[in-house]
Amino acid sequence: MSPQVDFDVVVIGGGIVGLASAYKISQNNPGVSIGVIEKEDRLAAHQTGHNSGVIHSGLYYKPGSTKARTCRQGREELLVFAKKYKLPYEVCGKLIVATKRKEQENLDKIFQNGTDNGIEGIERIDSEQIEQIEPFCRGVAGVRVPGAGIIDFQAVAEKLGELIEGQSADNKILLSNEVVGLERHDFFTNVITTERSFKTRYIVNCAGLYSDKVAKMDNVATDIRIVPFRGDYYKLSEEAAGKVKHLIYPVADLDLPFLGVHFSRKVDGTVECGPNAVFSFKREGYRKTDFSFRDSWDSLSFPGTWKLFLKHSIYGLGEYSRAFSKKLLLIKLKRLIPSLELDDISRGSSGIRAQAVDSAGRLIDDFQIIKAGNAIHILNAPSPAATASLAIGSYVNEVASDYFDLKGL
């Protein structure tokens, strides 16, 4: 006879992916009790609450990849969700702008990638069309993506938490509970937190920046390490913000997961520009001076980190120089909007990207979800995970329903 448990499923992590997964499992398995365990005193405190708020279209991702499929599906579902629950969002569209002729080859690849991914309404535009759409922007060619948008992902996360608890009195959102250990038994696992322990039949690890740590607690051997990268944003002055009508992006380096310094409108009417992408010496280090010996050791003792640095040393030095120089960042921004001045930009927010890196120094591009024992571990879910969250949640529900045999509970 199975012992009494606190929850049938415990989801570790109160970011948008963990909440979407818990929501979908609860929605599709009404008799299953779910606990979402979050170490902070609020939901969406880290990656979800510090991202750019962009609803991605799925333009950049490899055709046939989980990223490409879930981004398209998740975007559609996210818009329906936001409309249903009256959450702030806007489909404002995006321009990808080539400022030099040599960038057109990559621009063509991005356009073809978008076409292969079935992105609706994308079109090539010339320099005159760029100015018609964005009068202050300059470029030699571009791609217009009408389906891209902006949203408040923190509001989405909070609504998901409300719906999870509303679906069953047995479902709980448990804040201020940092997971410090997992104790496996024959028919259940003790999830040990800083506050207490919870007995659960099954675990879904959505710990984001600490997903590899939770996997290690579960004795899962992997070839990857989460390496944190900080992105610093600047904010445009109110007058300068009027120069940006859409999302404006440069042509990205397709060999890297970072999209370059760009302009992002926010649902509150402000405009951010950035981010850079620099190694962070702390997994949750939002300030340039933040440092954790333990987190630094975790990253820098991993051979893959140094191999990654060596592969992309020139790119990395450029990113670091802009992290500490407002003038150098402005040079990048002026390539897209030449009329910007130094007084138009001021320090804004920062975010941390949890990037999985393997021992060969390769950036893990696609989402990585593995099954082990009585657990599912989401070990890599970088951008566009927020956009794709509801579709990822559906996928996790499918895997969990089959792997955990939730219908049999």
In tens, the pLDDT along 322-337 reads 766 888 889 989 999 9
Residues 268 and 133 in one domain: yes
What's 119's domain CATH number?
3.30.9.10
The encoded tokens of residue 214 equal 């939770």
- Domain count of the fold of the chain: 2
Q: E strands, 268-392, where?
A: 271-274, 278-279, 345-358, 368-372, 375-380
Q: Span 295-299, mean pLDDT?
A: 96
- Please confirm whether the linkage preceding 384 is cis (ω < 30° from 0): yes
Q: Decide: helix, strand or coil at residue 2.
A: coil
Q: 99 lies in a domain?
A: yes
> According to the model, what pLDDT value does residue 276 have?
83
User: How many C-beta atoms surround the C-beta of residue 80 within 10 A?
Assistant: 11
Q: Span 347-360, mean pLDDT?
A: 93
The encoded tokens of residue 313 equal 């040393």
Residues 199 and 346 in one domain: no
Q: 78 lies in a domain?
A: no
The encoded tokens of residue 202 equal 């099954």
> According to the model, what pLDDT value does residue 29 have?
95
Residues 128 and 27 in one domain: no
Distance CA 137, CA 51 (A): 24
Q: 162 lies in a domain?
A: yes
Domain boundary among 358, 379, 397: 358
pLDDT at 317 over 90: no
Task: Find the domain containing 399 and state its range.
Answer: 7-48+154-223+366-408
Residue matched to tokens 């089959």: 402
The answer to whether residues 228 and 285 touch, using CB atoms and an 8 Å cutoff, is yes
The answer to whether residues 55 and 149 touch, using CB atoms and an 8 Å cutoff, is yes
The answer to whether residues 16 and 36 touch, using CB atoms and an 8 Å cutoff, is no
Q: 75 lies in a domain?
A: no
Q: Span 362-382, mean pLDDT?
A: 92
Q: 66 lies in a domain?
A: no
Residues 180 and 250 in one domain: no
User: How many C-beta atoms surround the C-beta of residue 227 within 10 A?
Assistant: 25
Among 247, 251, 253, smallest CA distance to 273 is for 247
Q: Decide: helix, strand or coil at residue 25.
A: helix
Chain centroid to Cα 130, Å, comes to 29
Q: 1 lies in a domain?
A: no
Least confident range of 204-208, 223-227, 274-278 = 274-278
Residues 35 and 159 in one domain: yes
Q: 31 lies in a domain?
A: yes
Q: Which residue has the higher pLDDT, 60 or 98?
A: 98
Q: With bands split at pLDDT 50, 70 and 90, how would you rate the model's confidence at 3?
A: low
Q: 71 lies in a domain?
A: no
Residues 324 and 186 in one domain: no
Distance CA 174, CA 98 (A): 47
Residues 338 and 403 in one domain: no
The answer to whether residues 323 and 279 touch, using CB atoms and an 8 Å cutoff, is no
Residues 248 and 311 in one domain: yes
Residues 22 and 138 in one domain: no
User: Which residues lie below 8 Å from residue 213, measured CB to CB, with a gap of 6+?
Assistant: 207, 226
pLDDT over 70, % of the chain: 96
Q: With bands split at pLDDT 50, 70 and 90, how would you rate the model's confidence at 366?
A: confident
Residues 403 and 312 in one domain: no
Q: With bands split at pLDDT 50, 70 and 90, how would you rate the model's confidence at 318?
A: low
> According to the model, what pLDDT value does residue 92 have?
96
> According to the model, what pLDDT value does residue 1 have?
37
Percent of the chain as helix, strand, coil, to the nearest 5: 35, 25, 35
On average, the pLDDT of the chain sits at 93
Residues 44 and 192 in one domain: yes
User: Which residues lie below 8 Å from residue 300, measured CB to CB, with a gap of 6+?
Assistant: 306
Q: Report which DSSP code applies to 286.
A: -
Residues 123 and 198 in one domain: no
What's 209's domain CATH number?
3.50.50.60
State pLDDT tens for residues 241-293: 999 999 999 998 766 656 788 999 999 999 999 888 889 999 999 998 999 99
